Amino acid sequence: MNILGIETSCDETGVAIYNSEEGLIGHLLHSQVSLHSEYGGVVPELASRDHIRKLIPLVQQILRNNQLTASDINGIAYTAGPGLAGALLVGATTARSMAWTWKIPAIAVHHMEGHLLAPMLEPDPPEFPFIALLVSGGHTLLIQVEGLGQYHLLGESLDDAAGEAFDKTAKMLKLAYPGGPLLSKLATKGTQGRFKFPRPMTDRPGLDFSFSGLKTFTMNTLQNTDQTPQDRADIAYAFQEAVADTLTIKCRRALQQSKLKRLIVSGGVSANIQIRQSLTKMAELENVRTYFPRLEFCTDNGAMIAYAGCQRLLAGQHENLEIHVKPRWPISDLK
């Protein structure tokens, strides 16, 4: 069974084909970074218009690249939320119209479930149950995962998501959009130990996160320096170290409480090397195995949506003809 996956929730147009027996057949991604960079962030209306321009050519290209035609596709999975309403509608209406024309089922996929299942695309995927840390631009979630659709939310961000904190801090350090990867690059030139940032909400019980205070801390620290390139690199280092430490402390707590021995980490921020290393080191000490998607599947992509859609279809789920998207959609609502 071949599932076409479509991702248009934010600033990447992603398409992929996943085969239920053979695995991932192919995937393509068009990034809108250059489109939004002059505005310093995603402009929703520009995002929607660009998805309209790119989506159908990408679908045609992926079919062509893999010598497939419409009759080889058995279902179309699309991101139905959470995300930008207009961007989601482009993917949803295109996917649903194609599915209707090709007389195949359409499957509405939760974007964060896509991230959660992305490590399943790797050669040695985790078995259920596990702890999932999902760290993207819009969400920071700690979830106890018992099986497909069995998600117990253990903790989440009460304000800025980890990726959002990276992006906002990067802006203060005068880095371009998207700031996360650029801040991480700057941090490689930073000096360890010069600044010590707080580890928010780690001194009390619980598994929720709060990263917005780090912005204020960054601003105050920056204003107390001459803002030389080295000052900025040292601040980037300390910020990244604080986020990595905070995520690691909360994951350790979740693993100890649940007694689970598998940790998956996914979402854009899981591409961060220092965060990966910090979590991997902690997990080794806890005798826990870690699973990350390959770097290109940490950030938004069509492959994770095709995979999630395939699992949902195999479980007997698909949509009726009504088209709706959910810009806000708690993952704990999934069944």
Q: Catalog residues that contact ligand KG4 under the rule CB under 6 A.
A: 10, 136-138, 163, 166-167, 178-181, 184, 267-269, 271-272, 299-300
Compute CA 82 distance to the chain's CA centroid, rounded to the nearest angstrom.
11
CB 179 within 8 A of CB 170: yes
Q: What are the Cα distances from residue 3, in Å, to 71, 164, 229, 312?
A: 12, 31, 48, 11
The per-residue DSSP string of 140-178 comes to EEEEEEEETTEEEEEEEBSSS-HHHHHHHHHHHTT--SS
**Among residues 129 and 330, whose Cβ is nearest to ligand KG4?**
330
Q: Tell me how far apart the alpha carbons of residues 320 and 43 are, in angstroms, rounded to a whole number.
A: 31
* Least Cβ distance, residue 183 to ligand KG4 (angstroms): 7
**Interaction partner, residue 75 (ligand KG4, Zn ion, none; CB < 5-8 Å by kind):** none
* E strand or H helix that includes residue 223: helix 212-223
> Smallest distance, Å, CB 10 to ligand KG4?
6
User: Quick one: tokens of 35?
Assistant: 């489109």
How many alpha carbons fall within 13 Å on the CB side of residue 182? 17
Contact partner, 163, from Zn ion, ligand KG4, none, Cβ < 5-8 Å per class: ligand KG4
In angstroms, give the least distance from the CB of 88 to ligand KG4.
12
User: What one-character DSSP code corresponds to residue 50?
Assistant: H
Smallest separation, CB 314 to Zn ion (Å): 23
Omega of the bond prior to 178 within 30 degrees of 0, cis? yes
Q: Which is nearer to ligand KG4, 131 or 271 (CB)?
A: 271
71/104 Cα distance (integer angstroms) = 9
Q: What does 166 bind: Zn ion, ligand KG4, none (CB cut-off 5 to 8 Å by kind)?
A: ligand KG4
Q: Provide the minimum distance between the beta carbon of 217 and ligand KG4 in the complex, in angstroms, as a whole number.
A: 17
Nearest-angstrom CA–CA distance, 21 and 23: 6
Q: Which two tokens stand for residue 279?
A: 């979590």
The secondary structure of residue 77, as a DSSP letter, is E
Q: Tell me the C-alpha distance between 106 and 68, whole Å.
A: 18
Q: Measured from the CB of residue 138, what is the shortest distance to ligand KG4 in angstroms? A: 5
86 binding partner (options Zn ion, ligand KG4, none; Cβ < 5 to 8 Å by kind): none
Enumerate residues 288-307 that contact Zn ion by CB under 5 A: 300
Q: Considering CB distances under 5 to 8 angstroms, the limit depending on partner class, which of ligand KG4, Zn ion, none binds residue 26?
A: none
Nearer to ligand KG4, 110 or 262 (CB): 110
Q: Taking CB within 5 to 8 Å according to partner kind, which of Zn ion, ligand KG4, none is near residue 181? A: ligand KG4
Nearer to ligand KG4, 166 or 197 (CB): 166
**Side chain identity, residue 75:** G
What is the nearest approach in angstroms of ligand KG4 to the Cβ of residue 89?
17
| Nearer to Zn ion (CB atom), residue 75 or residue 302 | 302
Nearer to Zn ion, 138 or 155 (CB): 138
Tokens at 222, concatenated: 């920056």
Give the x-and-dash track for 130-159 against Zn ion (CB under 5 A): ------x-----------------------
Give, rounded to a whole angstrom, the gap between the first and last alpha carbons of the chain. 23
- Please, what is the minimum distance in Å from the beta carbon of residue 325 to ligand KG4? 15
Q: Which is nearer to Zn ion, 136 or 221 (CB)?
A: 136
Closer Cβ to ligand KG4, 39 or 100, answer by number: 39
| Residue 77 contacts residue 95 (beta carbons within 8 Å) | yes
Residue closer to ligand KG4, measured from CB, 178 or 302: 178
Nearest by Cα to 76 from 153, 158, 6? 6
3-state secondary structure of 88: helix
Least distance in Å: CB of 1 to ligand KG4?
A: 27
Residues of this chain that bind Zn ion (CB under 5 A): 136, 300
